[in-house]
Each structure stands twice: as structure tokens, then as C-alpha cells.
Amino acid sequence: MGFNPHGHVLVTDGCFPEKGLFRVAPTVKLKCLEKIFRSKILALLLAKGKITPDHINLLKSWKHSGFQVYCGPRILPREKTAMENLARYIIRASFSQERMTYLPEEARMIYRSKDTRREKAFAALDIGMAGGHPRPVAYFSTV
């Protein structure tokens, strides 16, 4: 029962300006995007009262940022199988909310396995550390 909080974003790698021809966007520097992603997530958690400024300072002291942004290879329109595989991957649920129970009085989350034989408890602030993968990840695929 590994836990890997992450999100998927499917984006185009360009746009159609006024004349109707597709223009490919300049290459994105992933480390810069990672910093923006991290800053926005931490600001959101702080605004929601889920973490404190001390937690943020602790995270900033880590050797690794705790966040990762990945940009997959470009998928061209003729690559139907690659598009279908990506679409299937994006829509599948990585975990079931029905198997999660939040205990607010204990600030803990209980997650049960599919067969309900096992369960794992997480402290609310430690949930991102579960499964040995402490990094929220944003995956970008360009089409």
C-alpha cells in the first residue's frame, strides 16, 4: 500500500495564433516549473491551515525539494496508441476515496487495502511521507 500523492495535467505544447498555424511553445525549464508548483501548493496548504510557516521552513531546508515535475515526450496526432494509453492512465483512480477514513479528532487518515485485510494509518501532516515517496509530483504530457 504505497502512497504517492500526485496530479496529472495534459497540456498542449503550443497554440494556434491568429493565422491558424500551430506554433510550438518554447521549452519549459522543469526546475522553474517545479519551484512554482511547490510555492503554490505550500501557499495553499498554509492558507487552509494544514501546515505552518515552521513546516514550510523545514521543507525548504531539505536537500531535495520534496516536489517533482515531469514532462513526458511529445505525443504526435498520428500516435493513436500513445494517446489512448495516456488517456487511460490519466483517468484511472490512483486510490479510492471509499477506502479512506479521516479521523478529525485524531488528525489521522486510515486507508484500507482493496481486499480490506490491511489498513494503514497516517498522521495528517505525515501522509505525504508514506510509501517512501515523499514528493508530490506533477506529470505533464504534451500533445
pLDDT at 139: 47
Instruction: Report pLDDT digits (tens) over 18-76.
Output: 787 888 888 888 889 888 988 998 999 899 998 899 989 988 888 887 788 888 888 88
Is residue 57 a part of any domain in this protein?
Answer: yes
Q: Which domain holds residue 23?
A: 6-96+133-142
Residue 126 in domain: no
* pLDDT for res 94: 63
CA 140, CA 124: separation in Å to the nearest integer? 27
pLDDT digits (tens, 9 = 90+) for 74-109: 888 889 998 888 888 777 766 677 888 888 888 888
Asked if the structure places residue 128 within a domain, the reply is: no
- Residue 135 near residue 66 (C-beta atoms within 8 A): yes
Averaged pLDDT for residues 4-21: 77
Domain membership of residue 70 (yes or no) is yes
**41 within domain boundaries:** yes
- Which residues share a beta bridge with 6? 137
Nearest to 24 by CA among 103, 142, 104, 139: 142
Total tally of structural domains belonging to the chain:
1
Q: Burial, 96: exposed, middle or buried (Cβ in 10 Å; 0-12, 13-18, 19+)?
A: exposed
> Could you tell me if residue 14 is inside a domain?
yes
- The CA distance from 143 to 74, in Å, is 6
Residue 52 lies in a domain: yes
Establish if 127 belongs to a structural domain. Answer: no
Contact between residue 136 and residue 128 where contact means Cβ atoms under 8 Å apart = yes
